[in-house]
Amino acid sequence: MTTIAFIGLGNMGGPMAGNLVKAGHDVTGFDLSPEARTAAAGRGVTIAASVAEAVGGADAVITMLPNGPLVLQVWEELARLTGPGVIVLDSSTIDVDSARKAHAMLDGRLTLDAPVSGGTVGAEAGTLSFMVGATPEAFAAAAPILQPMAGRIIPCGGAGAGQAAKLCNNMLLGISMIGAAEAFAMGARLGLEDQALFDVISTSSGQCWAVNTNCPVPGPVPTSPANRDYRPGFAAALMLKDLRLARAAAEASGASIPLGAHAARLYEAFAGAGHGGEDFSAIIRFLQDPAVRD
Ligand code: NAD
């Protein structure tokens, strides 16, 4: 049993902390939101009144927060509150620079950036994919803690490498969803049935997760959000957040991402028109709108 402090008990953090409790760990959590605290208490998490109270005596600390500035704010506190050898890992999706700063702030601790994919379904089921940036020593120490929350744990390199991998993956996902949406929208214009086009693409060289698993039209994949009026799933606002982070990373590193930048602009327009809460595959409806298309 490990004593774990869990900071940020929202849609992802709450169920992740619950899976650590189920695995027999002693988990104390803190969140600014009373609703999140109540829900986590229902999952067996001991609720603390502050970050300091949650972290006192912990062998490991996990943060799962909305953005980079908040992670740095909490990690600044953790720099004062944790001693050498404590495992401190962040699973939020944040920019690579903030992740590297966070590692540097907690020099002497076993630090990891370990963002996830798999969404709230994966968080509940304990099947998240963790992409990890850490030293081999920190990776080995944290792996048993990640296990109850994870389907896969992938070492990506040193400090910031987990966030870098997450941003590259999600930029590709955003681009490929727009491509899938364009293909189905054009297919319909050309008189193709959605099912016929799906049968071709899903077994041919255009196959990808955006088509085979999260198909943007209702029908061919019964579990895709298109079949429930595009309730997420993975909300367009979160895709936009990740594309903006990818754009910032490209600017900082000098990488050329013409399609990633264009995907960010399309999701900015889509979310700006009030669709941020819909699944990101709903971008197909936007592409079908003549006012946008022409
Ligand atoms: P969320 O908004 O549901 O949860 C974040 C929680 O952090 C909130 O409950 C908030 O009250 C709390 N919080 C904010 N500042 C705090 C502070 N200073 N101290 C303590 N608690 C604080 O968000 P989420 O969906 O759980 O996502 C968390 C992170 O995971 C984000 O970075 C997101 O991009 C990433 N992510 C989300 C998904 C998803 O499908 N929701 C998937 C992969 C990654």
Q: Mean pLDDT by 10-residue block, N- to C-terminus, for the chain (294 residues)?
A: 96 97 98 98 98 97 97 98 97 97 97 94 96 98 98 98 98 98 97 98 98 97 96 94 97 97 97 96 89 57
- Among 112, 137, 158, the domain boundary falls at 158
CA-CA distance, 65 to 8, in Å (whole number)? 5
Which residue has the CA at smallest separation from atom 7 of ligand 1? 8
Q: Are residues 151 and 169 in the same domain?
A: no
Phi and psi torsions of 133, nearest 5°: -110, 120
- Ligand 1 atom closest to the Cα of residue 93 is 32
Pairing label, strands 116-117, 110-113: unpaired
pLDDT of residue 289: 77
Given this model, what pLDDT does residue 287 score?
87
Give the end of a domain, one of 128, 158, 188. Answer: 158
Q: Are residues 19 and 100 in the same domain?
A: yes
Q: Which atom of ligand 1 is nearest to the CA of 241?
A: 34
Whether residue 148 sits in one domain with residue 249: no
Which 3 state secondary structure label does DSSP give 151? strand
Calculate the CA 162 to chain-centre distance: 11
ipTM of the complex: 0.99
Do 231 and 141 sit in the same domain of this protein?
no
Query: Residue 35's CB: how many other CB atoms inside 10 A?
Result: 11
Q: What is the predicted pLDDT for the residue at 293?
A: 54
Q: Are residues 143 and 14 located together in one domain of the fold?
A: yes
Point out the domain boundary residue: 116, 137, 158. Answer: 158
User: Are residues 15 and 147 located together in one domain of the fold?
Assistant: yes
Pick from 6, 7, 9, 11 the residue to mutate for probing ligand 1's pocket: most ligand atoms within 8 Å of its CB: 11
What is the count of structural domains for the chain? 2
- 32 and 147 housed in the same domain: yes
Which CATH number characterizes residue 44's domain? 3.40.50.720
Q: How far apart are CA 80 and CA 101, in angstroms?
A: 15
Q: Would you call 225 helix, strand, or coil by DSSP? A: helix
Look at residue 225 in the predicted model and tell me its pLDDT.
Answer: 96
Do residues 210 and 285 share a domain?
yes
CATH at residue 226: 1.10.1040.10
For position 219, what pLDDT does the model report?
A: 98
Residues 44 and 135 in one domain: yes
Q: What is the three-state SS of 202-216?
A: CCCCCCCHHHHCCCC
Alpha helical stretches, state H, 85-231: 96-105, 119-125, 136-146, 161-189, 194-201, 209-212
288 with 249, same domain: the answer is yes
Q: What local confidence, expressed as pLDDT, does residue 294 receive? A: 47
Q: Are residues 84 and 36 in the same domain?
A: yes
The answer for 108, left when phi > 0, alpha when psi is -120 to 50, beta otherwise, is left
Which protein residues are within 6 Å of ligand 1, measured from CB?
A: 7-13, 30-33, 36, 64-66, 70, 74, 92-93, 116-117, 119-120, 234, 238, 241
Query: Domain limits at 151?
Result: 3-158
Annotated active-site residue in 22, 101, 166, 241? 166
Nearest-CA neighbor of 260 among 184, 201, 175?
175
**Which residues are within 8 A (CB) of 68 and not within 5 positions of it... i.e. 6 or more apart?**
92, 94, 95, 97, 98, 99
Shared domain for 147 and 192, answered yes or no, is no
- Decide if 166 is catalytic: yes
